[in-house]
Each structure stands twice: as C-alpha cells, then as structure tokens.
Structure 1
Amino acid sequence: MGVNFDLNDLQAFRAVVEKGTFRKAAEAVNISQPALSRRIEKLEEALGVRLFERTTRSVTLTTVGRVFAQSAEQLLDDLDMALLGIRDVSTSRLGHVTIACVPSVAYYFLPGVIASYHARFPRIRVKLLDASANEVLSAVISGEADFGVSFMGSQEANIEFKVLLQERFVAACRRDHPLARKKRVSWNELYQHEYVSVDKTSGNRLLLDQALSGLAPHPASVCETRHVTTMLGLVEAGLGVAAVPSMAMPPAGHHLLTSVPLIEPAVRRRVGLIRRRGQQLTPAAQQFYQTILDAKRAGAALSRGALSRGARTENGRARK
C-alpha cells in the first residue's frame, strides 16, 4: 500500500487525541478547524478506517484509532528525537513545549534556562503558563502542560516531584521601614505592623497557614492579593510589609525594597519539577526538562534566585 498521508496529517491526528476536540487541536497546530478536519479525513482515507467517532459534542477514538494512536505517537517521538539529536537539522524543526510555572520562579529562574534552550533549538516554540501553584498542578495533571515548576505536588500520588532548591520566607519591607534595620524578625513582630498578604486561593497562603498554625491570632492584613509580585508592589507603595519567598525579592541593592529573614519559626518551601508519574515526555519537553536539571547542577540559572540570597539547596549546603 502506498503512503498517501504525510507528517502534517499525523501531527493533526495526535493533536486531536491530546486535546479532545477539533477546535482545540486546530489551535494547537496553528491551522483552521476545516483544514484540520481535511487532514484527518485524508489520513482515514489513506488507512481505509475510521479513527474517530464524531458527535456534535465529542470526539472519541475508535478501537482501531486507539491502536493507531500508540503507533503514531511512537513514530512522531522517534522522529523528533532523531531531529533534536542532530546539530543544525534541529534548527529547521518546528515544535513546541509547554511549561507551567509559579510567577516568582518564572521571573527569577526560567529566563536563563529558556535562553539556553532557545540557543540550541531556536525553532521550538516555548509556551510558559505562569500561574498559581494550584493552577500549575492542575495544568500538569490535565496534560495542558508537559511539566511544571512549583512548590506544590510532592504529596500527590500521581505526581513525580524532583527538588530543585529550597528557599525561606523573608519579610519584605521598604528601606525606610523600622523592620528594615533588624537582622531577623519573628512572625509575631511582623504582625505587629500593617502588612499585606496573599489570599486563600494561593499555594503560599496554604503553606504558611499550615506552618504558622501554632502562632497566636493576628490582625487581618491591610490588603490581600493573589500573586506575590503584586504584593511586593503594594509594599513598595508603602501599604505595609509582607512575608514572601526569598526568590521573589528583587536583587540586592534595590532602591526601595529590602528583606529580613523571618524566624520563630523559619518557614521554607521546596521548589521542584513536577510531572505526571510514569509520563513519557515528548522529545522537545524532555530536552527542556534536562536543560533545567543541567542548569541546576551548573548553578548558572539559580544565581539570580533564592540560592544567591542565602537559601539552601536540597542537600542543605549554602551557596555563597
């Protein structure tokens, strides 16, 4: 039998399998929905079988379609791996990888990694989902993201959590604030001043509520936000102080903001790579995943983040 379909048809088929609808699949491969439908019809005609059962509400694989999906996935992955492994050839290969990441890590940790990855694979498109820790976890579990970088997920049975670094919470304050002159600040001292906080939808809020459950009740915050970066803007505007992960703080020497270690207790969060347990990443995603691990070992990508401000690595040794 002659081969009457091409790589684009297989990619369209895989997109429908992954996304579950023709509309979402068309968006994923950057073509119109009618064009995607024609590719699927062409593939079905070439194979002489129906790959999908279609209704007005859903698209599901037929029995033959499920068998073919496994073979098509392996074929595309093998091709991707071969192209990614050949220098110069990879520059002509179009692909994509989607990473979900909490905003503080996205800003201070990933730029160097993305730059390194882009230098090696300039034609692979990187999509970054910067979202709350809960949303990052959901994106990984649902398959919307290939993998994630977050501080939540280590307790999930179906999630593999690989630690990248450990950072502590610090008091963020203006340089003209009374707390800025201290070497360390207890949580009770912090709450004696007006402060801003993240709301109950935040993963950081959940972590802090659990760690500080033994403290005496404290006054409500002046303002609640959903993101740490917004909270720092409020601190800079003079609305109060805030407890933030050290990675979220601007580099040392910022003209308005500074940080002071929080104690009694010292609260830390572990930041790590999260992926579905047993999941086989696409070659493009696997290369990005490995780039992060390589950067961690080299220490280059972490230099802008928590480790350069006194946080500790997973084995407890401080980096200077």
Structure 2
Amino acid sequence: MDTRSLQLFLSLSETLHFGRSSEACHISPSTLSRTLKQLEESLGVQLFERDNRTVTLTHEGRLFQQYAREALAQWDLIRNSLLAEAAELHGEISMYCSVTASYSFLYEILSRFRHDYPRIEIKLHTGDPDQSIARALAGDEDIAIAARPDSLPAGLDFKPIAASPLLFIAPQGDLGFALPPAGESAAEHWSDVPMILPEGGVARDRVDEWFRAIGIRPHIYAQIAGNEAIVSMVSLGFGIGVVPRLVLENSPLAERVQILDARPELAPLEVGLFALERKLKNPLIQAFWAQLPGEA
C-alpha cells in the first residue's frame, strides 16, 4: 500500500509549514504541494487554507487528520503483525520525553532494545514533560515518559520505571529573602517567599496541595515550563523552587542550590511509560513495553 500521501498530509497538519514539512520528509516543497493537491482532488474537499504567510487546517482537514492517524496506525498494526509472524520485526516507534528523562532512563532501556531488535528505529522527541501525556493521548507519539497523575486517563496504559522525590530547593549564599526554618511549614514562614513553580503537571498539583494544606496562597515569582529551567532560576537567586530529585542529580547547577527540609514532605513522583491501550496491540510497541520489568 502507498501510505506516503497520508504521511505527508499528517506532517503538514502538525507543522503547518511547507518548508519544515518538506525538509522533515526529505522532499521538495513543490512535491509536497503537488501531493497534497492531488489528495484534495481525490477527496473532493479542501484540507488546508493557504496564503502567502500561513497554512491552516480546514474543518474537513481536521476530520481527515483523525482518519489519517487511525488509518496509518491500523496499517502499521497489520504490517507489523505479519512481520512478527515471520519473526522479523522492523519499523519505527515514536517517543516523547523531557531531556532529563532521555538521559536518566532511555540509555539502559534502548541499549537492551537495540540489541534485541536492531531493525526497529526509535524516533525521539524531547520537550516540556507536561506535554507528554497529552501527546500520547492524541496519538502523536507511540510512547511517552512522564510522571503518573493521580488519575490515569481512560484508554491510557502505564508502566512504572522509577520513583523520584519532589524537593524544595533554594539558592546557596546570600539571599534577598528569608528561608523558612528547617522542618517548618507554618504559614508565616512561607507566605512571603518567592516561589518558582512548574506551569502545570503532577509536580504543580502536589505543590498546590501542599500550600493549601498549610493554609496560604504562595507568592509565585515565576511559573516555568521545564524542570531544568527551575533549577537555573533558583541557582541565580530568584526564589525557592520545586523539582524532582532525578532532575537535580543530573543538573550541572546542583552545587549552586540547597535542598530545604520542608515538612510534610511532598509525595514522590512515579515516572514511567505511557501508551494508548490500543497501540499496545502493535508488535513493535509490545516489544518495547516488554523491555521493562513487570507485566508486559
């Protein structure tokens, strides 16, 4: 089957930029434009609105985007099932995780996987960890690495990798604010402290619950996407932050911050793999899933 036109359509529907999509797909912009025009003519509808500056999906384009994702997923499933029968797994798995997760967990997992399945390619994307679950749910990625939320979304499976405590960290040296006393969670010690917090995600939920428990609204200096940036801002003296221990242990700025003794302790993060349950029927994803200990 020729699925190339669907792949090209999905690429442009995600980037909304002919230049970036043509480069990613290793074709010329004119070839991309011609292929999509032929696809639109075949369907009898316009999939994109184009002008000299922007590209946007039409209503029909958004509907076709969902179809294209499902069609390619079904094609990959049957193709890989047939290859599995022949004991010859090959293809591509897309993954998404933070930079920290990529060097904290992936090396060991991928070393085993590449040894056992050398013909399966891993397409890795890195970015804000708070986007991991959403990308897996949307079907943009086959597998994502992230912290498990208290309530797992329907249709999503999870396999744990490790647990990481959440830590309050503060700058070293002279500060422009008073640190809360060790072991104290009284409101008067925390109400005026500048806080540097994640924009969202499980860590932010835990911090919000902690402040609610001591009965104050925190003085938020900044809300940051990405744990590494929180460590950086704390090391520069802007305030107190909250990050997972695994991020701090891998940070080049770890010696420029100090861990605070804040009570009660924040609940640790449970980090692991996420994948749509329906995608676990794919032999390639099953093979990757089985690399981790526990139930496959």
Task: Decide which of 71, 79, 82 is 1:76's aligned counterpart.
Answer: 79
TM-score (norm 2): 0.66
Match of 1:171 among 168, 172, 179: 168
**Residues 1:55 and 2:73 aligned together:** no
- Mapped to 1, the partners of 2:153 and 2:29 lie a distance apart of 36
* 1:49 aligned residue: none
Aligned to 2:190: 191
Contact in 2 for aligned 1:193/1:241 (Cα 8 Å): no
1:162 to 156, 159, 163: 159
Aligned match for 2:105, one of 109, 117, 140: 109
Structure-2 residue corresponding to 1:96: 92
TM superposition shift of 1:238:
2.1
The one-letter code sitting in structure 1 at the alignment partner of 2:128 is: A
Query: Secondary structure of the equivalent of 2:288?
Result: helix
Q: For 1:252 and 1:73, how far apart are their aligned partners in 2?
A: 38
Q: Secondary structure at the match of 1:10?
A: coil
**What residue is the counterpart of 2:229 in the other structure?**
230
Q: Distance in 2 between matches of 1:243 and 1:27?
A: 39
TM-aligned CA deviation for residue 288 of structure 1: 3.3
CA contact (8 A) 1:252 1:258 kept: no
The corresponding residue for 1:209 is 208
Q: 1:138 aligns with which of 131, 134, 138?
A: 134
Q: 1:240 to 1:19 in 2, by over 3 A?
A: closer
The runs of 5 or more residues in structure 2 that have no matched partner are 48-59
Query: Deviation at 1:232?
Result: 0.4
2:231 maps to a residue whose letter is L
Contact 1:96 1:127 in 2 (8 A): no
Q: 2:194 and 2:82 mapped to 1: Cα distance?
A: 54
Moved more, 109-118 or 225-234: 109-118
For residues 256 and 54 of structure 1, do their structure 2 counterparts lie closer, same or farther at Cα, with a shift above 3 Å needed? same
Instruction: Provide Cα deviations, 1:98-135, integer angstroms capped at 9, x if missing partner.
Output: 212245433433344345444553772422232232x2
1:187 to 1:126, Cα distance in 2 relative to 1, 3 A: farther
Q: Aligned runs of 1:287-306 on 2, under 5 Å?
A: 287-291=287-291, 293-294=292-293
How many angstroms does 1:256 deviate by? 2.3
User: Percent same amino acid among aligned pairs?
Assistant: 13
Q: Distance in 2 between matches of 1:258 and 1:124?
A: 40
The aligned amino acid for 1:142 is A
Per the alignment, residue 249 of structure 2 pairs with 250
Q: C-alpha separation between the residues in 1 aligned to 2:74 and 2:190?
A: 59
* Residues 28-78 of structure 1, C-alpha deviations (whole Å, 9 max, x = no match): 7544577679999xxx9xxxxxxx6342224678xxx9xx97984444213
